[in-house]
């Protein structure tokens, strides 16, 4: 039971990190980034490659050296930086000409490119076998609870940064761009610059999500970063209320905790896959209901009222 709870909280927390990425991109700035799994994978692979002890593997008749054995914290910071940097490059290519639903398709493609790189560039990623023996800090202490507490700390930190960002002059411009990009541009703001800032900043959280997940499980494979991950994270944010930083937590707890993990306790119905598959149907129905009856999500966007001295 404790193992299950630890796993569930690890999922909720790391998916919430990625949720904050989607919230900054979509909730604040209106950029539909469906490449969540790609940034997650970038973070996971970056830290995995950096922190895993150097080992020799033979795959498809060739021998590779993978792993650099650097400290975990270095790997995690590098994961955030790499995700951010790649977002900047993708952003410079895409955001010049593409926003809206076209950006959604492009980022979806980007995530698939990352996944195929992970599958095919075996010299770097060990291909479909994935990387095992990733360091798992505190995994043997108190059944892994200390690591969950670290995740909670990081979650609060990311929440704090996101909330500061939302209420700052920068967040004001980003939210303005979401409301009407042409109006903001006509008022003298270089919207490409602000979109890039949003893209790169959010991606750092996506990278952190992947990195902390990799150090939790200790083993990653390309198939862990499929579109399902993107779907779960984006659903969580939309259910919680995009643009609302508390909504991200509530939405992730609802979708991941209640709908994705808790059904394990339901009595068996049909074959072993009935309930696990039905979960996605239930999440899908929830999304439809939210979009139809409560478009703003469980927690709608809050207005930012600027403090004024009484006059």
CB of 66 to other proteins, least distance (A): 34
Closer to other proteins at the Cβ: 178 or 279? 178
Please tell me the total number of residues recorded for the chain in this structure.
311
Q: Does 247 bind other proteins (CB under 8 A)?
A: no
Tell whether residue 188 is a contact of other proteins (CB under 8 A).
Answer: yes
Instruction: Determine if 310 is a binding residue for other proteins (CB under 8 A).
Output: no
| Candidate residues 1, 60, 187, 269; the one interacting with other proteins per rule CB under 8 A | 187
Q: Which of 164, 264, 294, 295 binds other proteins (CB under 8 A)?
A: 164
Is residue 85 close enough to count as binding other proteins by CB under 8 A? no
**Which residue from 19, 75, 210, 243 is in contact with other proteins, where contact means CB under 8 A?**
243
Q: Which is nearer to other proteins, 121 or 180 (CB)?
A: 180
Told to check if 161 binds other proteins by CB under 8 A, we report yes
User: Which of the stretches 109-117, 178-186, 265-273, 279-287 binds other proteins when contact is defined by CB under 8 A?
Assistant: 178-186
Between 189 and 246, name the residue whose CB sits nearer to other proteins: 189
By CB under 8 A, residue 189 contacts other proteins: yes
Among residues 179, 266, 288, 291, which is the contact residue for other proteins, using CB under 8 A?
179
Q: Which is nearer to other proteins, 104 or 200 (CB)?
A: 200
Q: Is residue 25 a contact point for other proteins (CB under 8 A)?
A: no
List 49, 95, 173, 233, residue binding other proteins (CB under 8 A):
173
Exposed e or buried b per residue across 186-209, where buried means at least 16 C-beta atoms within 10 angstroms of its C-beta:
eeeeebbebbbbbbbbbbbbbbbb
Is residue 91 part of the contact set for other proteins (CB under 8 A)?
no
Does residue 303 bind other proteins (CB under 8 A)?
yes
DSSP string covering 96-156: TT--HHHHHHHHHHHHHHHHHHHHH-HHHH-GGG-B-----TTTTSGGGHHHHHHHHHHHH
**Cα–Cα distance measured from residue 226 to residue 246, given in angstroms and rounded to the nearest whole number:** 26
Q: Which residues form the interface with other proteins (CB under 8 A)?
A: 161, 164-165, 168-173, 175-176, 178-180, 182-191, 194, 197, 201, 243, 301, 303-306, 308
């Amino acid at each position: 039971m404790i193992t299950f709870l630890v796993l569930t909280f690890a999922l909720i927390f790391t998916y919430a990190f990625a949720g904050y990425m989607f919230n900054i991109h979509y909730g604040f700035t209106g950029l539909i980034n469906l490449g969540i799994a790609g940034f997650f994978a970038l973070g996971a692979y970056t830290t995995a490659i950096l922190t895993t002890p150097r080992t020799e593997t033979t795959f498809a008749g060739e021998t590779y050296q993978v792993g650099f054995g650097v400290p975990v914290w270095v790997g995690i910071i590098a994961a955030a930086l790499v995700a951010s940097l790649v977002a900047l490059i993708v952003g410079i290519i895409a955001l010049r000409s593409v926003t809206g639903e076209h950006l959604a398709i492009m980022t979806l493609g980007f995530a698939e490119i990352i996944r195929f790189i992970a599958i095919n560039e075996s010299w770097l990623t060990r291909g479909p076998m994935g990387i095992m023996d990733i360091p798992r800090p505190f995994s043997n202490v108190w059944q892994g609870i200390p690591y969950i507490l670290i995740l909670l700390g990081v979650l609060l930190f990311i929440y704090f940064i996101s909330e500061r960002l939302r209420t700052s002059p920068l967040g004001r411009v980003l939210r303005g761009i979401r409301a009407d990009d042409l109006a903001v541009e006509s008022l003298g703001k270089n919207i490409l610059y602000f979109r890039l800032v949003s893209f790169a900043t959010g991606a750092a959280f996506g990278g952190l999500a992947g990195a902390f997940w990799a150090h939790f499980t200790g083993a990653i494979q390309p198939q862990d970063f499929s579109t399902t991950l993107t779907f779960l994270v984006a659903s969580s944010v939309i259910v919680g209320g995009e643009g609302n930083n508390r909504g991200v937590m509530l939405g992730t707890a609802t979708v991941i905790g209640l709908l994705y993990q808790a059904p394990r306790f339901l009595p068996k119905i049909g074959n072993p896959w009935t309930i696990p598959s039905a979960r996605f149907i239930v999440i899908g129905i929830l999304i439809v209901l939210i979009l139809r009856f409560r478009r703003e999500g469980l927690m709608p966007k809050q207005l930012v009222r600027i403090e004024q001295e009484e006059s």
